[in-house]
Amino acid sequence: MSENLLVPNSTMTIIGTCATLCFIIPIITLIAYKKNTGVKLKPFVYGLIMFLAFALGVEQILHAVVLAIDTPVSRFLANHMLAYCIYGAVAAAVCEEFGRLIGFKLLGVKETDKKASVMYGIGHGGAECLAVGAYSLFTTLIYATLLNSQGYDAFVNAGGPEQASYLASLADSIINTNPYLFFISVFERVVALVLQISLSFIVYKSVKEKDSKHFFYIALGIHFVFDFFAALYQVGVIKNLIVEEAVLAAMAVGVAVFAVKVFKKTEE
């Protein structure tokens, strides 16, 4: 019977496993770091809230205004891939890094040390891991379950004629995706978590030390480059997913090495 399923049980298991991993990785990271450092949870909560407010709030509102509304700007960006990638990277960098900056201001730098800044990064990156990774994969698992229980035609027509095209595209995407590619989404979230922790400390340093204001612009630049490269894959300029992920991972490791060196030289 499983051979007749649109989404095989083996694929369902992989999706569920990957969704679970995206859910538990930030939690394990949080528990391990708190146990080893004794840092309070307050910075974690601030990091989580600032990601939700700025990455999923302000940034999405900006996209709705710039991209969704039919204007000369939205038409220009839709027809010029390079400009679209630049816009997307700038929007992500500015919204998230200013959100991080505001987060540290609200948290109170005088009450926050460098170890707490890492906890803030776990909150920021953990929220992304949950919202982008776990939520997306659990949603995919639900759609895959519906596909198997309802059948292709019933699934596509469930939302009426106006939703049929979208649901057909969604169904085809789930059915045709190589199941092992779902593991790449877990790898992406781990890379992003490392990057978010590193950027959080870099921004913290810019707030903590009067002569280190330039570190905020370093964080902006790093975030822009990272997202710009990712956008190049999304629009098809970079066609090999493995190459894209390898480059992003190498970049994240490089940023982490830089952040650790700065971390060691920074006073409590």
**pTM recorded for the entire structure:** 0.93
Pick from 84-88, 157-161, 168-172, 223-227: least confident? 157-161
Q: In angstroms, rounded to a whole number, what is the distance separating the alpha carbons of residues 70 and 160? A: 25
Q: In angstroms, rounded to a whole number, what is the distance separating the alpha carbons of residues 229 and 1? A: 43
Q: In this model, does residue 1 exceed pLDDT 50? A: no
Tell me the pLDDT tens digit for each residue of 102-143: 999 998 866 688 999 999 999 999 999 999 999 999 999 999
DSSP of the chain, one letter per residue? -GGG-SS-HHHHHHHHHHHHHHHHHHHHHHHHHHHHH---SHHHHHHHHHIIIIIIIIHHHHHIIIIIS-SHHHHHHHH-HHHHHHHHHHHHHHHHHHHHHHHHHHH-GGG--HHHHHHHHHHHHHHHIIIIIIHHHHHHHHHHHHHHHH-HHHHHHTT-HHHHHHHHHHHHHHHHS-TTHHHHHHHHHHHHHHHHHHHHHHHHHHHH-GGGTHHHHHHHHHHHHHHHHHHHHHTTSS--HHHHHHHHHHHHHHHHHHHHHHHHHS--
Q: In this model, does residue 241 exceed pLDDT 70? A: yes
Distances (CA, A) of 187 to 1, 45, 109: 32, 24, 32
pLDDT for position 210: 87
Residue 267 lies in a domain: no
Pick from 46-50, 105-109, 149-153, 241-245: least confident? 105-109
Pick from 3-17, 55-69, 120-134, 247-261: least confident? 3-17
Contact predicate 130/23, CB 8 Å: yes
Tell me the pLDDT tens digit for each residue of 211-234: 999 999 999 999 999 999 999 999
Residue 115 lies in a domain: yes
pLDDT for position 265: 87
Report the number of distinct structural domains present in the chain: 1
Could you tell me the pLDDT band of residue 162, with boundaries at 50, 70 and 90? confident
Tell me the pLDDT tens digit for each residue of 51-66: 999 999 999 999 999 9
Residue 93 lies in a domain: yes
Q: In this model, does residue 165 exceed pLDDT 70? A: yes
Residue 268 lies in a domain: no
Residue 144 lies in a domain: yes
Q: Which domain holds residue 10?
A: 2-262
Q: In this model, does residue 3 exceed pLDDT 60? A: no
pLDDT for position 110: 67
Structural tokens at position 166 = 């979208």
